Amino acid sequence: MKKNFLLIAGFFFLNFTIQAQSTVPAANVVLKKAVTDAGNQNKKVLLIFHASWCGWCHRMDAALNDEVCKKLFDDNFIIEHITVMESKGKENLENAGGKEMMEKYNGKDMGLPYWVVLDKDAKLLYDSQEKVTMADGTVKGQNIGCPATEKEVEKFIAILKKTTSLTASQLAIIAKRFRQNESK
């Protein structure tokens, strides 16, 4: 009896584990749903590439979901996450095709979080890169990730200004909240 119980329990555990590992949707599935929802709701897509180990990713999510500005983002964006660059042993959390999607949206060799603003057709409007002119005259993108410094927050607010109908006072609320990320 005990042997049968352990066999049945083991079967259910294995089945649950397999189902849990296969529930992470592919990146293209996440994106397709996001752009469909954005089109239906007249919003933009804020697509965030992140990983479970990334402290700045958690700060970004905390700021986006803070009660002072959550509604402002929810009213203007469909926010989705694509999990990439997971640590060894947690690769099962990644969205298949996420790395390639990040590269497609100019995120190759960028740190996390890396985010993009897309229109309802998945066209890239803005990304989280600050363009910097190097000494040799070439322009290189540096990821601002989770906006925290004054310069990073200014860049983020400038993008929000161009992609939303947020008022100056609403943008100020968002800027104030994201500036708190620098001191945490």
Secondary structure of the chain as H, E, C letters: CHHHHHHHHHHHHHHHHHHHHCCCCCHHHHHHHHHHHHHHHCCEEEEEEECCCCHHHHHHHHHHCCCCCHHHHHCCEEEEEEECCCCCCCHHHCCCCHHHHHHHCCCCCCCCCEEEEECCCCCEEEECEEEEECCCCCEEEEECCCCCCHHHHHHHHHHHHHHCCCCHHHHHHHHHHHHHHHHC
Query: In the predicted model, is pLDDT for residue 179 greater than 80?
Result: yes
For the whole model, what pTM was predicted? 0.86
Q: 25-183 belongs to which homologous superfamily? A: Glutaredoxin (3.40.30.10)
| Residue 14, pLDDT score | 46
Residue 98 or 15, more confident = 98
Query: In the predicted model, is pLDDT for residue 180 greater than 70?
Result: yes
Range with the poorest average pLDDT among 8-12, 64-68, 97-101: 8-12
The predicted model gives 74-97 an average pLDDT of 98
Give percent above pLDDT 90 in the chain: 80
pLDDT band for 26, please (50, 70, 90 cuts): very high
The predicted model gives 64-86 an average pLDDT of 99
